Amino acid sequence: DTEVTQTPKHLVMGMTNKKSLKCEQHMGHRAMYWYKQKAKKPPELMFVYSYEKLSINESVPSRFSPECPNSSLLNLHLHALQPEDSALYLCASSQATYYEQYFGPGTRLTVT
């Protein structure tokens, strides 16, 4: 089983809303990632969690707040987003940070 699940599939939110994206994997992977992807571009790394601890924050604005409640779950809390934050948000996991990554289907986020 190489499945990473993400919810919701689509999300529309206003600039004053607070919402959360969720990601789950049951492959026993110890590294999890959040990426942001604009149309026809490669994914851009946002955060890396390794053994449930944040190991990389790619200078992401504080309106994005990651959380790793346990080794299978990864959340991304959103608050006061801007229209330019509209994108496909991808979660990925890997056995460890130097192993190949498996991606979820993404959450299509639209900020109005």
Task: Give one word for 45, left, alpha or beta, with left for phi > 0 and alpha for psi -120 to 50.
Answer: beta
CA distances (Å), origin 22, targets 40, 57, 72, 87, 90: 24, 18, 11, 16, 10
Footprint of another protein on this chain (CB under 8 A)?
Answer: 2, 4, 6, 33, 40-43, 45, 48, 50, 55-56, 88, 90, 92, 97-106, 108
- When the beta carbons of 80 and 97 are compared against another protein, the nearer one is 97
Q: Residue 95 Cβ, how far from another protein at the closest point, in Å?
A: 12
- When the beta carbons of 16 and 39 are compared against another protein, the nearer one is 39
Q: Residue 97 Cβ, how far from another protein at the closest point, in Å?
A: 4
